[in-house]
Amino acid sequence: MEMSGEPPDVQALSDADVRVYEAVAGLVVAGGTATLERVVHAGSLPEETVRHSLDTLTRAGWLRAEGASYVLGPHRWEVEY
């Protein structure tokens, strides 16, 4: 996935990346914090997969790290919860 310029199209994300993004979004929208442990639990994925996806999504700008938690980065598409 190319990381320069604008974030890649959402359709370029892997299934795991989408699941991790949705887990973070769900936790944040519910008023919780999206820590690694909570994302692993919410996404029902192995920790290593979640770590890789969080790194990919953060480098691409889809997510932002805030301390030990993650929040949504700027985007032009809607997530409904």
3-state helix, strand, coil in the chain (%, to 5): 50, 10, 40
For residue range 6-53, list pLDDT tens digits in order: 555 666 788 999 999 999 999 998 998 999 999 999 999 999 999 999
pLDDT tens string 43-73? 999 999 999 999 999 998 889 999 999 999 8
For residue 72, the surrounding DSSP H or E stretch is strand 69-72
Enter the pTM of the model. 0.80
Q: What's the pLDDT at 11?
A: 64
| Helix H or strand E encompassing 27 | helix 15-29
Residue 40 to residue 4: CA distance in whole angstroms: 27
CA dist 17 and 54 (Å) reads 8
Contact 60, 7 (CB under 8 A): yes
Select the more confidently predicted residue: 49 or 1: 49
Assign domain 13-71 one CATH number from 1.10.1200.10, 1.10.10.10, 3.30.70.240, 3.40.50.2000. 1.10.10.10
